[in-house]
Copies of this chain bind each other. A is one copy, B any other.
Amino acid sequence: MLTERQINILHLIIQIYTTTGIPVGSKTLMNDGIAASSATIRNDMMVLEKYGFIEKTHSSSGRVPSIRGYRFYVDHILKPASVSSNELAVIKQSFGKDFYAINDIVEQSAKILSDLTSYTAFSLGPEVKERKLTGFRIVPLNAHQIMAIIVTDKGNVESQVFSIPTAISSEDIEKMIRIINEKLVGEPLLTVYHKLRTEIPLILQRYFQTPSGMMDLFDMVLGKAFEDRVFVGGGMNLLDFGVLQDLHQFKSLYSIINDKETLTTLLGNKSGEISIQIGNELGNDILNNMSLITASYEVKGHGQGTIALLGPTNMSYDKMIGLIEVFRQELATHLVDYYRSLDSSQTS
């Protein structure tokens, strides 16, 4: 096992490397708090290297933490740094404005977090799948277009404009709306989605000759409602991570962080409240020298949301963890407040 000094050395290497970005040598460590000679430190570093916690960039360079080193650090050494009162003020102030919709808060939170860290932040609102359908509207705009609106119980609204075949008259649409509202409103979206595939077509056939076109329409609207809404903040900060070899790499990166598909996979299904994935643990070659900190938060009764931070592997994990810890609580609080204001106005 590692001695206490070896652990201290690993800790210090990470601390120094995450702030300076320069490989750390034995003398630097000696002058920066390790009470031993450079030779002794070198011996310890050899041990650490044997374990695979640190590595050299070339045969006679200082040491740099490896993925395993970071992993050991975040698992056993890291203590979240406390958040400066300054940063706290910024957070509180940024959340201080009025929001019209739930997604505004979620989107804004990604922006705040990225500004605060200079990294790239993601924000995924509380679980959509638990929501219930409280209203389904179809608004005829003209003979050729309609707008379909889905309203969920918690302030989430999706709308979409459709061109419709002239074959469907506005009377038929009225009928349609009535059916939908009778059969589907009040159900969780998941159930809605299910019924839409089983029960409803049967009923619709009584009224329409060809309900399939109408079904496609529903599919699209519901698809939109289902699609987890991921928001990205500070995508351009990628440029400053200092991990880019060439511009081509930036393009790949940028397309990754804007691909909802990839993102949802990346952010979903994390164990525990705060999870850290380092370098190749992310399972994506392009993200090899980046780390992702994912934090979920509970909004009582409304499922859980997720915020995440993507930065270089050599980020200051202690600072970031401390920050995210505060941030997610702040965000959860604001969402709870928002939901409460919604609930109270509905029951009054």
Which A residues fall within an 8 A CB radius of B? Answer: 98-101, 134-135, 137, 139, 141-145, 147, 149, 151, 155, 157, 159, 161-163, 166, 236, 239-240, 247, 250-251, 254, 341-342, 345-346, 348
CB of A100 within 8 A of CB of B163, answer yes
Q: When the two chains form their complex, are residues B239 and A144 in contact, meaning their CB atoms are under 8 A apart? A: no
10 other A-B residue contacts (CB within 8 Å) besides A101-B145, A101-B161, A142-B346: A98-B163, A100-B163, A135-B142, A141-B149, A142-B342, A143-B346, A144-B346, A145-B155, A236-B251, A239-B251
Q: Which residue of B lies closest to A346 (CB)?
A: B143
Query: With A and B bound together, what is the CA distance between A300 and B269 in angstroms?
Result: 54
Contact of A147 among B142, B159, B254 (CB under 8 A): B159
CB-defined contacts of A145 to chain B, threshold 8 Å: 101, 155, 157
Q: Give the shortest distance, in Å, between A189 (CB) and chain B (any CB).
A: 16
Q: Are B139 and A149 in contact (CB under 8 A)?
A: yes
Q: How far is the CB of A14 from chain B (nearest CB, A)?
A: 27
Q: Contact check, B100 vs A161: say whether CB atoms are below 8 A apart.
A: yes
**Which B residues lie within 8 Å of A345 (CB)?**
143-144, 166
Contact A162 B236 (CB under 8 A): no
**Inter-chain contact B149/A147, CB cutoff 8 Å:** yes
22 contacts between A and B (CB under 8 A): A99-B163, A100-B161, A100-B162, A101-B145, A101-B163, A135-B142, A139-B149, A141-B149, A142-B151, A142-B346, A143-B348, A144-B155, A144-B341, A144-B342, A144-B346, A147-B149, A147-B157, A147-B159, A159-B159, A166-B345, A239-B247, A239-B251
* Residues in B neighbouring A134, C-beta threshold 8 A: 142
